[in-house]
Amino acid sequence: MSDNLIEIKHLKKYFNVSSGLLHAVDDVSLNIPRGKTLGLVGESGCGKSTLGRVIIGLLKASGGEVFFNGEDSLKFDGAKRSEFRRHAQIVFQDPFSSLNPRMSVSQLISEPLIINGICRSRKELDDKVGELMDLVGLASRLTTSFPHELDGGRRQRIGIARALALDPEFIVLDEPVSALDVCIQAQVLNLLADLREQRGYTYLFISHNLSVVRYVSDEVAVMYLGNVVEKADNSTLFKSPLHPYTQALLSAVPIASVGPKKQRIILEGDVPSPVNPPAGCRFAGRCWQHEEICMCQTPPLVEVEPGHFVACHRLKNQAACHA
Amino acid sequence: MKNNSMLKYTMIRLRRNYLALFGLFILVVLIVCAVFADQLAPFGYAQQDYMMIRKAPSAVHWLGTDEFGRDILSRLIYGSRISLQVGLIAVSISLVVGGLIGAVSGYFGGKLDNVLMRLMDIQMAIPTILMAIVISSVLGPGLFNLMVAVGITYIPKFARLTRASVLSLKDQEFIEAARAMGASHTRIICLYILPNCAAPLIVQSTLSVANAILFAATLSFLGLGIQPPYPEWGGMLSAARPYLRNSAYMSIFPGLAIMFTILSLNFLGDGLRDALDPKQKR
Amino acid sequence: MSENKDILLDIKDLSVQFNTDSGVVKAVNHLNLRLERGKSLGFVGETGAGKTTTALSILQLIQTPPGEITSGEILFNGVDVRRMTEAEKRHLRGGDISMIFQDPMTSLNPIMTVEEQIMEMVSLHLNLKGEAARERAIEMLRLVGIRPERAKDFPHQFSGGMRQRVVIAIALACRPQLIIADEPTTALDVTIQAQVLELIKKLQQSEKTSMLLITHDLGIVAETCDSVAIMYGGHLVEYSGIKELYTHPKHPYTQGLFNAVPTLESPLGSRLAVIPGLPPDPTNLPKGCSFSPRCPYAKDICHERACGMRELEPGHFVDCHFPLTPESGNAFLERPSKEAE
């Protein structure tokens, strides 16, 4: 058994919209090693949330395969699908809308247990709920509280407890701290880190916030308009980003310190529409280094250095030169 | 933070709305009349006294008597029972049936949604009175049949309301979360969607009870539904028509009863809508 | 005093509260703040600290009831805004003081073209009508980088970043003396945010407008502002020029903020220092310093009474009995960082 828990191969997800075909996820291939965190970074519309949902099975893929422990999870049905659900769970972004406002904290956390028939008695259920609340740092007096009475941080902890209820191996975290205040964000990030250390979860951490992704991930993949444009391990990506988009992204992050101002790369124009995308590199239109080939051929994701993948014609050529 | 449940919170907000409180008060009076009619009414509703035909309000008959010498006050009190029954049962029918249609339609969408909503459209294209008359004549006279007829005419309204709520809830993340946990469609509809649609349905129900009572009165006025000697307020109005000039009180008091009931339910409904609206600033 | 002419906005002892069902929310407490002409002030704090309430008070947009300004003066160009007549206030809003809100979709009128929205502003405040108004609108759009061909488009036809540019164009249309920007880039992608911040900075310098920038992001403040004010629990806890705050923060909360946020420069594998607990309940503010329950440096006196703002160095004010010095170290990093409730 390879030590990749998840192997995504040529995954595609298209949506039919009135103006054409929306390429939300376009031929993405990624591996997520067991026990590690893959950070998935990109701006709105790049397809990262869609990718997360397709992996979990909330959306049907339009093509490709997702191997979970060696089996293609996209082909699961009925019983296998329920089984899969116990291994792969998701934590959502918005602590306001991801919890049923009519259910109390204990009801919310017991839902996955009840639906999947985990506990055999009321007492067992209550015990398990108490255990989970403890695990995520929710005081037991909150058992009968309702979401609207609690702050964002506590609500997100409920979401995390709920995801952990089935004791999964793999958790997709879709912008789990983006809606939280900075101090609460720190608390929740520490919680996620602790849980991973204690329980050995594998995380797919989706976020648009580069600093947060850098803090939590072992490896990072950058997405732009449905494609992965760069992937490397954490320190490499942030120290020496190769793809122009990654460089622009990193340069755009405001720095909380005074000193000599860095030269900022300001991208021109807006992100093009993912509906009926043009041929060639999606980033070519905004890239200050684009060449003719970039406008006609989509660059493949190639390994330019060990463990460092980039989808860029110029860099591919450079790699070929060095080979 | 204080542990306020939705209900308590709503009550607090409602308390500040004086019109709504007034409406609630009238409703309570009506309910008391309906439940304790036997104890409260000075005379029986069918009790005729040929010596006292069409007597104006007096010390004995506070609101006067009708053309058969029956005490109007007593008939009004017993009539509240009928009106409330009609209102509650009719709305219950439309709420349950309409709510179910709307929920299923909104949740599953697609062809099912199309078919159901077109059926509702067809029903709404038919004038309600006409429909009620047809249903009444098919089912025959009687209180229960009246309630069914009125109930059926309100189904589309509840269906559309529920469907709209369901559509707005369907894409909320907590529904996605339920699906991610493996919840069945039934579970999602019953535990996740319907409880969150409650607010607009409650408001609509209150307003519909008022409408149903008025509608029932209209139908009785036209001679359908309740048959004499049952004291339905609309029927009383109808019977009082020939005597409008000389014994106006025979029309005025049933009319006032209808008016106050409708008003009170509308005030209450409006108050509930304001109290249940989460966007209202506190 | 000659320096008075340079003070555009002078807030003195401002207190704002909201009377709600769950109690009296003390949103802003005895706030003192000054903004010089042509400068920009970063107003930093978390949700519920009172930043937006302060901004709305300046524009006299607090809904009364349930809101209420219980004390203080807000002097704009020396005139107390609270004492203005309704007509004067309307003239102030959009004319002398403009506001940019966070969500560009809801702050633009969806059924008017962008050109019309700017024209509406100039006709209200500058009395420009017809062709003159249209010319001004095109000029403003060009200033924010929107081509004149798009002037007749509707808000929904623009992307988030473009919409925010339109909002900026509307805000600048009447050449206001002060712009209040409430989290103007929070809803935008980071590359678009960079564009919009660049634009705001450029315009602020060229038009010499003063700016009050409300944000929770210390990075944005460092890049765009001259001075910064930190709010916590409805109180101003630290105020200084940019350089001083970022090199030597003096209030424990400020230090905590810096440590709680991951940056691209923090060493990999380091732990985020957490400020334990939660922000205070505004209906039940703690006795004494509002930060004392969570402060790792707090002593008895801190729980007893608040200190009040003191000028520790020229231009650097702190509300703390024991402001940090370079020798204080960093108590946040030494605490166990798992949150236990």
The CATH number of whichever domain residue B147 belongs to comes to 1.10.3720.10
Q: Chains contacting C with at least 3 CB pairs below 8 Å?
A: A, B
DSSP state of C74: E
> Residue A234's closest CA among C270, C65, B42, C105?
C270
What mean pLDDT is reported for chain A?
88
B2 domain-assigned: no
Is residue A310 predicted with pLDDT exceeding 90?
yes
pTM higher than 0.90: no
CA distances from C261 to A11, B237, C217 (A): 34, 74, 9
Note whether A137 contacts C222, CB cutoff 8 Å: no
3-class DSSP assignment, residue C265: coil
Is residue A1 predicted with pLDDT exceeding 60?
no
Model confidence band, residue B187 (pLDDT cutoffs 50, 70, 90): very high
Which pLDDT tens digit goes with each residue over A198-251? 888 999 999 988 999 999 999 999 999 999 999 999 999 999 999 999 999 998
Q: What percent of chain A has pLDDT over 70?
A: 96
Is residue C340 predicted with pLDDT exceeding 50?
no
Q: Is B178 on the interface with A (CB under 8 A)?
A: yes
Measured between beta carbons, the chain A residues lying within 8 angstroms of C262 are 189, 211-212, 214-215
Q: Could you tell me the two tokens for B206?
A: 């209150």
**Distance, CA of C11 to CA of C7 (rounded, Å):** 10
Model confidence band, residue C337 (pLDDT cutoffs 50, 70, 90): very low
Beta strands in chain C (DSSP E): 7-20, 23-36, 40-44, 67-76, 79-80, 97-100, 178-182, 210-215, 227-232, 235-241, 310-313, 316-318
Helices B18-35, B249-276: inter-axial angle, 10-degree rounding: 130
**Distance, CA of B67 to CA of A38 (rounded, Å):** 87
DSSP letters, C219-257, are HHHHHH-SEEEEEETTEEEEEEEHHHHHHS--SHHHHHH
* Mean local confidence (pLDDT), C223-230: 92
Q: How far is CA B220 from the centre of its chain?
A: 16
Q: What percent of chain C has pLDDT over 70?
A: 96
Nearest CA in chain B to C24: B282
Q: Could you tell me the two tokens for A181?
A: 């205040």
Q: Is B169 on the interface with A (CB under 8 A)?
A: no
Is residue A305 predicted with pLDDT exceeding 80?
yes
Which pLDDT tens digit goes with each residue over C304-317? 888 888 888 888 99
Q: Is C281 on the interface with B (CB under 8 A)?
A: yes
The torsion of the CA quartet C94, C96, C99, C104, rounded to 10 degrees, works out to 50
Which pLDDT tens digit goes with each residue over C8-32? 999 999 999 998 877 888 889 989 9
B14 domain-assigned: no
Is residue A70 predicted with pLDDT exceeding 60?
yes
* Mean local confidence (pLDDT), B28-47: 86
**Distance, CA of B47 to CA of B28 (rounded, Å):** 27
Question: C-alpha angle C29/C30/C36, rounded to 5°?
Answer: 120
Q: Is C85 on the interface with B (CB under 8 A)?
A: no
**Distance, CA of C112 to CA of C155 (rounded, Å):** 8
Q: Total domain count for chain B?
A: 1
How are beta strands A20-33 and A4-17 bridged, if at all?
antiparallel
Q: Could you tell me the two tokens for A270?
A: 């807006």
**Distance, CA of A84 to CA of C174 (rounded, Å):** 60
Q: Which of A90, A99, A102 sits opposite B195 (nearest CB)?
A: A102
Measured between beta carbons, the chain A residues lying within 8 angstroms of B187 are 115
> Residue C160's closest CA among C206, C119, C124, C107?
C107
pLDDT, position A140:
86
Q: Is C21 on the interface with B (CB under 8 A)?
A: yes
Note whether A100 contacts B181, CB cutoff 8 Å: no
pLDDT, position C2:
39
Q: Which of C22, C63, C66 sits opposite B2 (nearest CB)?
A: C22
CA distances from B18 to A97, B8, B11, B24 (A): 34, 17, 13, 10
Name which residue leads in pLDDT, C326 or C117: C117
Task: Looking at the complex, report in whole angstroms how far the Cα of residue A177 sits from the nearest Cα belonging to chain B.
Answer: 15
Q: What is the CA radius of gyration of chain C?
A: 21
Contacts of B144 (CB under 8 A, 6+ apart): B89
CATH of the domain at A66: 3.40.50.300
Tell me whether the omega of the peptide bond preceding residue C252 falls within 30 degrees of 0, making it cis: no
Q: What is the C-alpha end-to-end distance of chain A, expressed in Å?
A: 31
Measured between beta carbons, the chain B residues lying within 8 angstroms of C63 are 281
Is residue B280 predicted with pLDDT exceeding 50?
no
B69 domain-assigned: yes
CA distances from B91 to B85, B94, B121, B127, B262 (A): 10, 5, 19, 18, 14
- State which of A254-268, B156-170, C203-217, C267-281 shows the largest mean pLDDT: B156-170
Which pLDDT tens digit goes with each residue over C120-169? 988 888 888 889 899 999 988 988 888 888 889 999 888 878 888 899 99
Is residue C335 predicted with pLDDT exceeding 70?
no
B7 domain-assigned: no
Q: Which of A85, A92, A146 sits opposite B177 (nearest CB)?
A: A92
Is residue A76 predicted with pLDDT exceeding 70?
yes
What mean pLDDT is reported for chain B?
85
Measured between beta carbons, the chain A residues lying within 8 angstroms of B178 are 100, 111
Which residue out of C274, C281, C283, C338 would a mutagenesis test of the A interface target, given it has the greatest number of A Cβ atoms within 10 Å? C274
Q: Could you tell me the two tokens for A147?
A: 């979401």
Q: Total domain count for chain A?
A: 1
B125 domain-assigned: yes
Which pLDDT tens digit goes with each residue over B109-129? 999 999 999 999 999 999 988
Contacts of C32 (CB under 8 A, 6+ apart): C11, C12, C13, C14, C236, C309
Beta strands in B78-150 (DSSP E): none
3-class DSSP assignment, residue C99: strand
Which pLDDT tens digit goes with each residue over A146-174? 888 888 888 999 999 999 999 999 999 99
> Residue A306's closest CA among A319, A321, A296, A292?
A319
Q: Is C341 on the interface with B (CB under 8 A)?
A: no
Q: What percent of chain A has pLDDT over 90?
A: 41
Helices A152-164, B173-181: inter-axial angle, 10-degree rounding: 20
Q: By residue range, what is the domain housing residue B203?
A: 23-276
Nearest CA in chain C to B9: C21
Phi, psi of B82 (to 5 degrees): -65, -45
Q: Which of A153, A238, A266 sits opposite C264 (nearest CB)?
A: A238
**Distance, CA of A128 to CA of A123 (rounded, Å):** 9
Nearest CA in chain B to C281: B1
